[in-house]
Amino acid sequence: MTEISEQLLAGDRRILSRVISQLERGAPEAAQVLKAIDHHTGGAYTVGITGPPGAGKSTMVDRLTQLLRQEGLKVGIIGVDPTSPFTGGAILGDRIRMQRHYLDDGVFIRSVATRGHTGGVPRIVKGMVRLLDAWGTDVVLVETVGVGQSELGIMEVADTVLVTMMPESGDAIQTLKAGIMEIADIYVVNKSDRDGADQMAAAIRANLGLDSSHRDWDPPILKTQALSGEGMEALWSKVQEHRDYLASSAKLVELRAQRRKQEFLEAVEEEVGRRLKALVEGDPTLIAMLEKVAGKEAEPFSSAIDFLAKFNGPTGLLGSLFTKED
């Protein structure tokens, strides 16, 4: 095991921050650390918080963190933010709401950009969760930018998914069509002191009744006021109840195993894409093919199939994708 890995396992905050930065850059050093600490992970529990903009997700994360710290638990927070169109970095947004925790040694906060990831949650978040786990975190809270078909990736990260909504989310039925019927383990109607909270909760319950899929876990619907902290203890209690359910039914092990498989496939896809992009910049044959496709001299899909067939093999162009890099 490397010295950096040992320092991370010993709880070195500076090392954790450095390795996460390396992971974001795709540096091979991060992969070596992840390999070294892999057998030391699995203790942290990951909770995903998603929902439409304005539902109070960041405030909820802040209040949950406060509650968990009062219980003596070490907390990691990952805020998945939109990618800046100018810098490519994360737009911090409501992370300022968590300002009180920045000086707490028992809390680690990191924002990560979506980088256009189609699932809303970039693959590296899974690596970040494992790094936080190895660092000694008890609970990792992952907050996403919003909810919808593009946010279903939170299922591939979190053990328990909280879907947060508010009374004035608009047409409740239309909101529920966004795909959250399939991802929520717990529904939270936040800002429940506002008019329409009961109606929103009733709409969720009615739509759950229309769900024809068989579920052993019946997603509860809680009403909270995150700004004042009302309902946070009940919410955390339900998260623990869901965790006990997953553990007792062996579903937690099954879910985590499936996520590891998915992460492997995503990593392969990303690395092949990265290496192919590097080849495009310097290979004349591939550049010529792209020019033909752009000029309508060749059809994109069929040309891609022909290209792969022609250059397949260990000595061909694509073979160089899998040669060990220096």
- Write out pLDDT tens, residues 299-317: 999 988 887 776 665 555 5
What is the per-residue pLDDT across 191-246, written as a single tens digit (0 to 9) for each?
999 988 998 898 888 888 776 565 789 999 999 999 999 999 999 999 999 999 99
Cα distance between residue 83 and residue 87, in whole Å? 8
Question: What pLDDT, on the 0 to 100 scale, is given for residue 90?
Answer: 43
- The percent of residues above 70 in pLDDT, for the chain, comes to 79
pLDDT range class, residue 318, cuts 50, 70, 90: low
Average pLDDT over residues 239-261: 95
CA-wise closest residue to 166 among 142, 144, 187, 145 = 187
Is-contact 78 141, C-beta < 8 A? yes
- The CB-based long-range contact list for 168-174 (8 Å cut-off, 24+ gap) reads 168/194, 168/196, 169/52, 169/55, 169/200, 172/199, 172/200, 172/203, 172/204, 173/203, 173/207
Residue of 77 and 204 predicted with greater confidence: 77
Please provide the DSSP assignment of 43-84 as one string: -SEEEEEE-STTS-HHHHHHHHHHHHHHTT--EEEEEEEPBP
Residue of 276 and 199 predicted with greater confidence: 199
Count H helices, E strands: the chain?
Answer: 11, 7
Fold of 41-249: Rossmann fold (3.40.50)
Q: 318 phi and psi, to 5 degrees?
A: -70, -25
Distance (Å) of CA 5 to CA 28, 117, 321: 14, 28, 29
- pLDDT above 60 for 110: yes
Question: What pLDDT, on the 0 to 100 scale, is given for residue 106?
Answer: 94
Tokens (6 digits) for 30: 């991060």
DSSP-assigned beta bridge partners for residue 107: 75
Is-contact 142 155, C-beta < 8 A? no
Amino acid at 11: G
Contacts of 155 (CB under 8 A, 6+ apart): 48, 161, 182, 183
Cα distance between residue 240 and residue 301, in whole Å? 49
Range name among 142-151, 256-265, 291-300 with the lowest pLDDT average: 142-151
What is the per-residue pLDDT across 134-181, written as a single tens digit (0 to 9) for each?
999 999 999 987 655 446 788 889 999 999 988 865 555 555 555 666
